Amino acid sequence: MATPSVHTLLNGYLMPTDQGNPAFCAVYLIESDDGRIVFDCGHVGRRKALLAALCERGLSPGDIATVVVSHGHWDHLQNVDLFQRVVMHPHELRYLKAPSRRDLGTPPWTSAVLEGLDVREASEGEQLASGVRVVELPGHTPGSIGLAVDTDEGTALLTGDAVPAAGVLLAGEPLGRAFDSARARASIERVAELADVVHPGHDKSFRVTRAKRSR
């Protein structure tokens, strides 16, 4: 049985401007003997780029068994309709039905994006494929999740915006306005403890050491 592998389909970027944030999240592909998983899928402004990135690997959305959405912010889930099956945390799905009016990352229409899709719930420890399991990383949103992947390089942790960039792990503090700051800090620490390699939500992948964290 081959070891699962993680590949970057689209790079993530932090690009705040005085007119808002284009919010280009990273999109990752996990390949295993049990099939292919896409982690986060970006917003519709990157749909053409996502399809091109899959095509470069000889793939189409139909070749993807599951898309895992780390959380419900618009920049991470708008392209879910391209795929056959969507996996999210039950807390996140519940929140999307009635998001806070102050939550600018989760417009009230967000749950409508999921209508008619095969949406499944997944919680801590659930195996989505051999060597691929769900890790709960709440705080940025109520039900943020990541994926832990057992690779040849050790444990790769796909974090979404629980750790959007390397500087967040170094500082131990969430970026921007977290839904629950205390839980967000605990999730950052959990990533530091679990991961050998971090694949963040809006930055390049980086390796973690116990003595120091390095790019």
DSSP the chain: -PPPEEEEEE--B---BTTB---B--EEEEEETTEEEEE----GGGHHHHHHHHHHTT--GGG-SEEE-S---HHHHTTGGGSSEEEE-HHHHHHHTS--TT-TTS-TTGGGGGTTSEEEE--TT-EEETTEEEEE-TTSSTT-EEEEEEETTEEEEEEETTS-SHHHHHHTS-SS--SSHHHHHHHHHHHHHH-SEEEESSS--EEE-SS-EE-
pLDDT tens-digit series, residues 93-126: 999 999 998 898 999 999 999 999 999 999 999 9
Counting the structural domains of the chain, the total is: 1
| Rounded average pLDDT over 136-159 | 97
pLDDT score of 17: 87
* Residue 212: per-residue pLDDT: 43
For 45-87, what is each residue's pLDDT tens digit? 999 999 999 999 999 999 999 999 999 999 999 999 999 999 9
- In the chain, the amino acid numbered 57 is R
The boundaries of the domain holding residue 209 are 5-214
Confidence of residue 150 (pLDDT cuts 50, 70, 90): very high
Residue 210: the pLDDT is 62
Distance, in Å, from the CA atom of 207 to the CA atom of 83, rounded to the nearest integer, reads 30
The full length of the chain comes to 215
**CATH at 151:** 3.60.15.10
When pLDDT is averaged across residues 37-44 and rounded to a whole number, the result is: 98
